[in-house]
């Protein structure tokens, strides 16, 4: 599958590496460009912008730092929300607030973009070993599309609802332990 991966921090990098090893075609972007270099050495394509990472992708996975990073990438300077193609799958693995989760749920639905909320539990070493635990929420068909990608870096997926923002509610209720 062709995947755009945005956010190559301590968790995102090992998650993206596992996708490469599993044979997925990866286009990667990070706010600090030097974070893409280890993945490029392994076969990923470096994207200059989030929109370039999404171009032609079947799915986009985001593992950004926090609400501010999601606001910047999706609604701020990069305006990724305006270039996501209808029908593309957006898997949001970061931990975000309920307010941002609800906004993203509505904005994606209004644009015909499948969104799966998929925050993770675990450490960077768990990500490297494919042992993250994932809470997933979204429409059944979107979760089904996301599952083969999520399984690459997880030991289990718990589906917690049909609305993407429900995954963030559950993650926040369980405590931010990742």
Catalytic residues, by residue number, are: 171
Residues in the chain: 178
Q: Could you give the CA distance from residue 75 to residue 78 in angstroms, rounded to a whole number?
A: 7
Token pair of 88, please?
Answer: 């593309």
Q: Could you give the CA distance from residue 4 to residue 28 in angstroms, rounded to a whole number?
A: 6
60, 6 contact by CB (below 8 A):
yes
Token pair of 141, please?
Answer: 């068909």
Residue 88 buriedness (CB in 10 A; 0-12 / 13-18 / 19+): buried
Token pair of 165, please?
Answer: 């923002």
Among positive and negative, which fits the CA dihedral 15, 16, 20, 22? positive
């Amino acid at each position: 599958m062709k995947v755009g991966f945005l956010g190559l921090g301590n968790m995102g990098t090992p998650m993206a590496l596992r996708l490469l090893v599993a044979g997925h075609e990866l286009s990667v972007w990070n706010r600090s460009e030097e974070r893409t270099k280890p993945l490029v050495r392994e076969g990923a394509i470096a994207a200059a912008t989030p929109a370039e990472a999404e171009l032609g992708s079947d799915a986009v996975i985001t593992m950004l730092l926090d609400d501010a990073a999601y606001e910047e990438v999706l609604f701020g300077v990069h305006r990724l929300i305006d270039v996501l193609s209808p029908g593309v799958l957006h898997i949001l693995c970061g931990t975000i607030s309920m307010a941002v989760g609800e906004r993203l749920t509505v904005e994606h639905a209004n644009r015909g973009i499948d969104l799966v909320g998929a925050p993770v539990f675990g450490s960077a070493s768990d990500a490297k070993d494919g042992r993250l635990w994932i809470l997933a929420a979204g429409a059944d068909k979107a979760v089904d599309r996301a599952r083969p990608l999520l399984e690459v870096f997880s030991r289990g997926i718990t589906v917690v609802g049909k609305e993407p923002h429900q995954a963030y509610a559950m993650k926040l209720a369980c405590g931010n332990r990742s």
